[in-house]
Amino acid sequence: MKHNYPNDKYKKVKDSYLLMEFESFIDPVYSANECNEFMALALAELADHLQSTILAASTPFLLIRQAVVASRFQAIHSAERIRAINPHDVIENGPYQGLSVEANNQALQAAQAKLAAELADENGQKAIYGQIRSELLQGLDDAEAALAAQELLNQGAVGAWTAFEVFAKSVAKSVVNSQPAKGLTLIKSDFTKSYFGGKGAIPVEILEEHQFDLTTSMGDAIFRSTKLDSLPAIRAVFEILFPKSSEISHALKNRQLWMLNQRRHLIVHKRGIIDRHYLENTEDNFSLGERLRIQGGTLHNYLNMVRDLALTIANADQARV
């Protein structure tokens, strides 16, 4: 369904909820072709993480939509049942005689067809989504419901970053597994060795786990206890893994990706309460001590950015091969 929302009239709804349907959003990921096996698995894992994030963050919208559509169907169905009444049966058997099985089935099928036609029609969509908007607006009158909706958006931002972080680590492991020499570069380079313990060597116990053969598992070994939970770490690692990809380098310098990482850190470690460190790093338009509020449209943009960045990396990986 399309969301036929004039920006000026429905801004509060867009700011307060995630209005998003997963299937159309994730189609580009499922349509990605010519990926190797490991990249295909990484993209599938990304899609799973993004689906969980979207479904959780858009729960109010999904529940209200279901209720509004169900209510509309009941109204159509009731009207069709009335139309299916045979006047002769009423005269003969009384007004409380139920419909025949055949008449009931016909009324049900007619109601289903009419609802499907309404949902496919632009005017029908406007009516349905106008009702959804009204219900969502009413929900914001309840302080606890509004707070819950905001918490879902904030946690959605955490989920968006986590999806990207897990994807980035999966890709990094895959690249190093196929090119072990890059693993040695990562643990020895002045730009990245601090993320791998800083010693420039692989612990003996990890080597022993792999029977001292890292020919095809160097990535698994060096990333086993390494977190790529900061954007600087991901940038530094990918600069070594994809040195010739200006597309990845440019994408990882996206200001919004930096903001997402900073906001994720604030939500996870400070419950979203703005501190000096956050303001110094972001110059965001919040006051010290204020609670961070991720808007629905902002989360939508973050999710699109993560998906598109993952596809950029997948394309660069294919070019590398």
Q: Compute the average pLDDT of residues 53-76.
A: 96
146: which 2 tokens?
């509004």
CA separation, residue 46 to residues 35, 40, 205, 264, 306 (Å): 14, 10, 31, 17, 9
State the pLDDT at residue 8.
Answer: 53
Q: Is the pLDDT of residue 45 over 60?
A: yes
How many Cβ atoms sit within 10 Å of the Cβ of residue 191? 14
Q: Compute the average pLDDT of residues 107-127.
A: 94
Residue with structure tokens 């580009």? 28
Give per-residue pLDDT as tens, 262-299.
999 999 999 999 999 999 999 888 999 999 999 999 99
State the pLDDT at residue 10.
Answer: 79
CA separation, residue 126 to residues 75, 262, 285 (Å): 17, 37, 34
State the pLDDT at residue 24.
Answer: 86
Give per-residue pLDDT as tens, 155-196.
999 999 999 999 999 999 999 999 999 999 999 999 999 998
Q: Are 73 and 209 in contact (CB under 8 A)?
A: no
Q: Is the pLDDT of residue 103 over 90?
A: no
Q: Compute the average pLDDT of residues 74-101.
A: 74
The DSSP code sequence of 165-220 is HHHHHHHHHHHHHH-HHHHHHHHH-TTTGGGGTSSSS--HHHHHHTTT--TTTHHH
Q: Tell which residue, 57, 109, 121, 48, has the closest CA to residue 84.
A: 109
Q: Is the pLDDT of residue 91 over 50?
A: no
Average pLDDT, the chain: 88
CA separation, residue 318 to residues 29, 39, 111, 313 (Å): 15, 9, 50, 9
In single-letter form, the type of residue at position 91 comes to I
30: which 2 tokens?
């499922």
State the pLDDT at residue 315.
Answer: 85
Q: Is the pLDDT of residue 1 over 70?
A: no
pLDDT band at 93 (very low <50, low <70, confident <90, very high): low
Between residues 205 and 53, the one the model is more confident about: 53
The DSSP code sequence of 53-111 is HHHHHTHHHHHHHHHHHHHHHHHHHHHHHHHT--HHHHHHH-TTPPPPHHHHHHHHHHH
How many Cβ atoms sit within 10 Å of the Cβ of residue 145? 14
Residue with structure tokens 């909820």? 17
Q: Tell which residue, 296, 13, 5, has the closest CA to residue 128.
A: 5
Q: Tell which residue, 305, 300, 309, has the closest CA to residue 58.
A: 300
Q: Are 47 and 32 in contact (CB under 8 A)?
A: no
In single-letter form, the type of residue at position 283 comes to E
Is residue 287 helix, strand or coil? coil
> What CA–CA distance (Å, rounded) separates 229 from 250?
19
As a whole number of angstroms, the longest Cα–Cα distance in the chain is: 94
State the pLDDT at residue 96.
Answer: 46
Angle at 178 between CA 219 and CA 205, to 5 degrees: 30
Give per-residue pLDDT as tens, 215-261.
888 998 889 888 889 999 999 999 999 998 899 999 999 999 999 99
Between residues 34 and 169, the one the model is more confident about: 169
Least confident range from 21-25, 85-89, 96-100: namely: 96-100
Is residue 239 helix, strand or coil? helix
